[in-house]
Structure 1
Amino acid sequence: MQLAAIDWCIIGLYLLIALGIGIACRKRASENSEEYYLAGRKLPWWALGTSMVATTFAADTPLAITEMSRMKGIWENWFWWNWLLYGLLAVFLFSRLWRRAEVLTENELLEMRYSGRPAAFLRFFKAGYFALLYNFIVLGWVINGMSSVLTVMLGNGEPLAFEIAGWSVQWDFREVMVWVLVGISTLYALLSGFWGVVVTDVIQFFIAMAGAVVLAVVAVNQVGGIDGLMEGLDTTFAAKAQAAQVQLEASREAGATPEVVAALQGAYEQMPKSAAEAISVVPVVPTDVSWFSFEFLNSQFFQFLVLILVMWWSNHATDGGGYLIQRTMAARNERHALAANLWYNFANYALRTWPWILVALVSVVLFPDLAGHPMGEKAGYSLVMNQLLGPGLKGLLIVSFLAAFMSTVDTHLNWGSSYLVHDIYRRFVQPNRGERHYVVAGQLATVGLIVVAAVIARNMGSIEKAWKFVMAMGSGIGLVLILRWFWWRINAWSEISALAVSFLATCGFEVLAAVQTMRGGEAYVLFGRDPVIAGHPFPFHLQLLVVVGVSVVAWLGVTFATPPEPSEQLRAFYQKVRPGGWWRDLAEIGGERDREVTRHFLPNFFAGMALIWGGMFFIGYTLLKQWEWAVPSGLAMVAGFAWIWFAVLRKEAS
């Protein structure tokens, strides 16, 4: 074990504080379901926005970013940078709409917007789908990520061995530690509900950010500053590219299967060959292939286009995203809901990005070859922590990972149990019980969720691929989620068909990958590899295009083949939330057109892009000494903030 006594003291103190918060909040949270799941809708913007940031940063996040940056360079972070675009939809449209709806869960809106049995079925199905399948995968990769960190930090220590009633038991100490953390997270989530989740999230955000910044500073200094980092990346990536080319040629000469050759060829073509390629935020445009060839479709540039043009509007979180919607609905009012989402997006993209990326780049220089490591490329981040940090700092960094891990676990447990209890148990099983009964039911659901997530965690391969599978699984439904607020013709069958087709298509690709893996004599690992079609790897971005295309065609056909929702249902929904959009004659009913959120949306949206992406690239280019890009990025940030301050925030304040 590689931790000093002071490290254990820091870790123990943090865990006691987290548990103490849960105990302190337990009485308030147990009053009723609204207190337990939404903190009584009384929370300010800064607490909610900070909680959003904390809960989207788990122990797996820097590992996945390291995995992507090491293999393909910084540009692949557009996989999550593109989420800003639907984040801005939440800021300027959906934050206010969700707060106006005054529902307890996202799924409750379905029976407000749609009618009859299809609406009830959709509410039941989506609650189970996201609370169980989606939640199990997310919790599984989060637990897997924390286990990976502790595997590196605690080394290969001796297992804990003891006897219970004559049975000899051996436990890996690292797994024991992970489940101690899970147990504490579950306990304070059980006791304190959403109150405890938000309070601990605020504390965890500052701990996690401090840890990430400290590690980035130490890591960059270790390799001679930014100039030394650039020199090291040039040398390392050139050597890695040469070794990959030798391996590719050897596999061809040895008569390897087409799938193996295709996978090696794809890996070689995708990897950076220099520091300039590694730090570029936009991949090189291929000029030596036809734009209609498979080579172009598999190029990094085409992947980039798919991420920024398709992925952001097509996924299941386009109108807010489950646990972010939960926080939006807990805001004091619409103004606090908008400000919470704006602060979340700025902190998430502009502030958090670069400490992780800098450590990922340093890991390439310090640990150039991790192909043989049990955890693969994602181990780079933890290895940098373990090698460079001494007593005290190592404890702080582990606490930052614990904070990130626990903030995500408690959020998904609380959010998932809200779906199971409010949208399934209360709606369909026991509709007329007292509030205390539903709080207890939520606590029992929380325990059940974490038990099943444990099984998923033990059978998960790449964290990056798990991320992508989850995104693809709901990728066909995004446009429906946007349009249901603004277009009267969307009905319950639109959502049902979009979600079902997306799920079946995504699972089909994973089944194909499993069959090909086992046919090649390899052991199948969940999300372990991409399928190969026509002799070419068929990666995530191509799968996404197929899933989205098939789903959009399916739900459009189903929408026009089924009747619209009754006018009374549509009118009641419109009068409640005042969204604007295409509502036939309904827009004239009830007045108050000045409350429509669509007014001035486009300039606000582009100002948000300028503020947040401008800020993100200003910070990054400044750190990397790319001054020619830092200055215009900074100007864009300032211009975006000025517009939002005068056109949105001051107006909302008045």
Structure 2
Amino acid sequence: AVSLAAIKFGEIVLGWPGWVTLTIAGSITLTYSALGGLKAIIITDFFQFSLAMLGSFWGMFYILGLPEIGGLSNLFTHPNVTDKLALLPDMSNPNEWVPVLLVPLAVQWWASYYPGAEPGGGGYIAQRMFSAKNEQHAVAATFLFNLAHYAVRPWPWILIALCSLIIFPELTDIQKAFPALAADKLDHDVAYAAMLTLLPPGLLGLVSASLMAAFMSTMSSQLNLGASYLVNDLYHRFIRPQAMQSERVTAGRLFTIITLILGGGFGLLLTSASQAFNLMLMIGAGTGLIYILRWFWWRINAYTEIVAMVSSLFIAGYFNFSDSDLEGWQKIVVGTLLTTIVWITATYLTPAENDQTLRNFVNQVNPGGPGWRKYPLGDSTVPWPVPQAILCMALGCIVVYGCLLGLGQLIYGHIEIGSLLMGLALVASFGLARAWK
């Protein structure tokens, strides 16, 4: 998905073919990812994120000040925009609220794996947490990430997207303005890049640099995580168990190159962000529940996860590349059901982990609950942390969504509702601080 975004940005703003953009940005990313490892990625991420936020907000303020836009008040009263301001979909039309509201709240959040937002934890978020100084720093940094990423970062994108409805009301307007854009890349997601061409040269350079920084930051995280999986869980475990550290580093660099080439090639094949997003959700459909249950049920094993990942990949491929008449949200629900049936069957047909491994896990993690009654904790005086963790999770969600929606209401000019939501987020943050301690 990020490769596709870089391709469209390069074609519209820079006038470069997609492969040129990917080659230049990918080579820079590959250099510091392969040579510097995770530490280099974390250091560069700090500066790249700062640059990305500066460029997006500066670009947003400039575009809002264009005569065609005329500021926030004129933007929100423009006929092209007014019917797009609702925070909730049309509840009288199931085709709108079911895929946008019901499926994410009822199924998607626990059923689908999504990079950076895994239902049961993991991925590059866990990798960053493990690299922190201590547990307190890891949790605080992750919470800061969620606030910045979900509550603050989207608003420049949202406002520029709304402005694009005035400048480029239809896709045909973008096509006329950028005739060199490849036909298979013309979709609604190119509107953001198209709006950036309205910026003056100096600011356009800054915003372009910020977008390339965002692309390299995301790619470096994915490359390092992918190489870590391939080296530690495949190469060192099954192919070369006796491999020395230097050999594993070399293997990691080779896997990084392979992963970059495959990711860039796949980006050239995709046509829209929605296609990439739906494909990711479909590939992960049904696997999310495993990542939650592995903390609560002793019977989950490695075969469960492997079978789930492989089966969901084939099911996603069938639904996305066949002539299925199902809607996107229906594919996610059906894919989740089919994958769940397959991995539950595989779980009961394959042997469980040995008792010693399970007892070590219980002593270190203390998962507790009815799913681990067979393996009680040796020290019965240790409190069960899960209820408190669930409370912190709920309070954290209130803080993040309160800030996201409250900030949106304030931007829209709804001061009372916005202040109420921000106040709710503040109260929840105090509750979170107490519950966390």
Normalising by structure 2, we get a TM-score of 0.90
Instruction: Give the conservation status (yes or no) of the 8 Å contact 1:313–1:478.
Output: yes
1:382 offset after TM fit, Å? 1.2
Whole-angstrom CA distance in 2 between matches of 1:481 and 1:175: 36
| Distance in 2 (alpha carbons) for counterparts of 1:507 and 1:473 | 8
- Aligned partner of 1:286 in structure 2 is 92
Partner of 1:324: 125
- Checking the alignment, whether the CA contact within 8 Å between 2:11 and 2:17 is kept in structure 1 is no
What is the rounded CA distance, in whole Å, between the counterparts of 1:491 and 1:419 in structure 2? 17
> Residue deviations 1:64-110, cap 9 Å, x none?
xxxxxxxxxxxxxxxxxxxxxxxxxxxxxxxxxxxxxxxxxxxxxxx
CA contact (8 A) 2:4 2:272 kept: no
Q: For 1:446-470, what per-residue CA distance to the aligned partner results, in whole angstroms no more than 9, with x for missing partners?
A: 1222223332222211122111111
Change (3 A) 1:645 1:205: same
Could you tell me which of 207, 221, 225 is aligned with 1:415?
A: 225
CA–CA separation in structure 1 for the residues paired with 2:306 and 2:381: 32
Contact 2:10 2:17 (8 Å CA) reproduced: no
Aligned-residue offset at 1:562: 4.6
User: Residue in 2 aligned with 1:333?
Assistant: 134
Matched to 1:225, the amino acid is: G
1:477: which partner in 2?
287
Name 2:313's counterpart in structure 1.
Answer: 503
Structure 1: unaligned runs, 5 residues or longer: 1-140, 156-171, 237-273, 288-295, 514-530, 533-537
* Residues 86-101 of structure 1 aligned to structure 2 (within 5 Å): none
Q: 1:426 to 1:588 in 2, by over 3 A?
A: closer
Structure 2 partner of 1:468: 278
Return the alpha-carbon distance in structure 2 between the equivalents of residues 603 and 322 of structure 1.
Answer: 23
Pick from 95, 101, 104 the counterpart of residue 304 of structure 1: 101
Name 1:599's counterpart in structure 2.
Answer: 387
Which of the residues 342, 351, 370 maps onto 2:171? Answer: 370
Aligned to 1:30: none
The aligned counterpart of 2:59 is 215
1:179 Cα deviation after fit = 1.4
Consecutive unaligned residues of structure 2, counting only runs of 5 or more, are 176-182
Aligned to 2:425: 637
d(CA) in 2 for partners of 1:177, 1:508? 31
SS at match of 1:486: coil
Aligned to 1:186: 30
Please point out which of 610, 618, 625 is paired with 2:406.
618
Query: Aligned pairs, how many?
Result: 420
2:74 to 219, 223, 228: 228
Of residues 217, 237, 242 in structure 2, which corresponds to 1:432? 242
Map Cα deviations across residues 184-238 of structure 1 (whole Å, 9 max, x no partner).
1111111101111000000011100111111111122221112211232x2x3xx
- CA-to-aligned-CA distance 1:505-526 (integer Å, 9 cap, x gap): 211112314xxxxxxxxxxxxx
Q: What's the CA shift string for 1:113-156, capped at 9, x where partnerless?
A: xxxxxxxxxxxxxxxxxxxxxxxxxxxx322211211211124x
**Residue matched to 1:647:** 435
- Which aligned pairs between 1:456-605 and structure 2 lie closer than 5 A? 456-513=266-323, 531-532=324-325, 538-581=326-369, 582-591=371-380, 593-594=382-383, 596-605=384-393
Using a 3 Å threshold, how does the CA distance of structure 1 residues 592 and 404 change in structure 2: closer, same or farther? farther
Q: Which has the higher contact order (CA 8 A, sep 6+)?
A: 1
**Does the 8 Å CA contact 2:227/2:253 hold for their aligned counterparts?**
yes
Equivalent position SS for 2:300 = coil
SS of residue paired to 2:121: coil
> Which position in structure 2 is the counterpart of 1:176?
20
What CA deviation, in whole Å up to 9, does each residue of 1:562-606 have, x standing for no partner?
A: 554332221121112222333114223245623x43032343222
Question: Which amino acid in 2 is paired with 1:154?
Answer: L
One-letter amino acid of the structure 1 residue matched with residue 372 of structure 2 = W
Cross-structure match for 2:211: 401
1:174 Cα deviation (Å)? 6.3
2: CA distance, partners of 1:511 / 1:376 = 19
Using the alignment, how far apart are the partners of 1:545 and 1:144 within structure 2? Answer: 26
Q: What is aligned with 2:179?
A: none
Partner of residue 180, structure 2: none
Alignment correspondent of 1:70: none
- Return the letter of the residue paired with 1:427: R
Q: Matches of 1:606 and 1:174 in 2, distance apart?
A: 42
Q: For 2:243 and 2:315, locate their aligned partners in 1 and report how far apart those are by CA, in whole Å.
A: 40
Secondary structure of the 1:485 match is: coil
Cα distance in 1 for partners of 2:416, 2:280 equals 37
Q: Deviations over 1:294-315 (max 9, x none)?
A: xx3x333454100122111112
Structure showing greater Rg: 1
Distance in 2 between residues matched to 1:445 and 1:197, nearest whole Å? 16
Q: Distance in 1 between matches of 2:411 and 2:385?
A: 38
| Contact 1:282/1:301, CA 8 A, preserved across alignment | no
Q: Residue deviations 1:466-504, cap 9 Å, x none?
A: 111112111101111111112123233433343333222
Indicate if the aligned counterparts of 2:409 and 2:418 stay in contact, CA closer than 8 A.
Answer: yes
What is the CA RMSD across the aligned residues, in angstroms?
A: 2.0
Specify the SS of the correspondent of 2:87: coil
CA separation in 2, counterparts of 1:330 and 1:593? 27
Q: Matches of 2:271 and 2:391 in 1, distance apart?
A: 42
Is the 2:59–2:196 contact (alpha carbons within 8 Å) kept by the matching residues of 1? yes
Q: TM-score, normalised by structure 1?
A: 0.61
CA contact (8 A) 1:283 1:301 kept: no
- The 1-side partners of 2:299 and 2:231 are apart by 30
Distance 1:496 1:434 in 2: 27
The answer on whether the counterparts of 1:612 and 1:637 sit within 8 Å (CA) in structure 2 is: yes
Equivalent residues of 1:328, 1:341 under 8 A apart: yes
Contact 1:154 1:174 in 2 (8 A): no
Summarize the Cα distance change of 1:453–1:553 in structure 2 as closer, same or farther, 3 Å threshold. Answer: closer
8 Å Cα contact 1:284-1:301 kept in structure 2: no
Aligned to 2:196: 385
**Following the alignment from structure 1 to structure 2, what is the Cα–Cα distance between the partners of residues 459 and 145?**
12
The structure-2 alpha-carbon separation of the partners of 1:504 and 1:609, relative to structure 1 and needing over 3 Å to count, comes to: same
* Kept after mapping to 1: 8 A contact 2:29/2:220: yes
- Does the 8 Å CA contact 2:363/2:377 hold for their aligned counterparts? no
Mapped to 1, the partners of 2:304 and 2:243 lie a distance apart of 33
The equivalent of 1:108 in structure 2 is none
Task: Kindly indicate whether residue 207 of structure 2 is the aligned counterpart of residue 361 of structure 1.
Answer: no
Distance across 2 between alignment mates of 1:306 and 1:173: 37
Q: Is the contact made by 2:286 and 2:308 (CA closer than 8 Å) also made in structure 1? A: yes
Distance 1:480 1:358, change over 3 A: same
Q: Please give the per-residue CA displacement for 1:307-345, whole angstroms capped at 9, x wherever unaligned.
A: 122111112221224111211221222222211221111
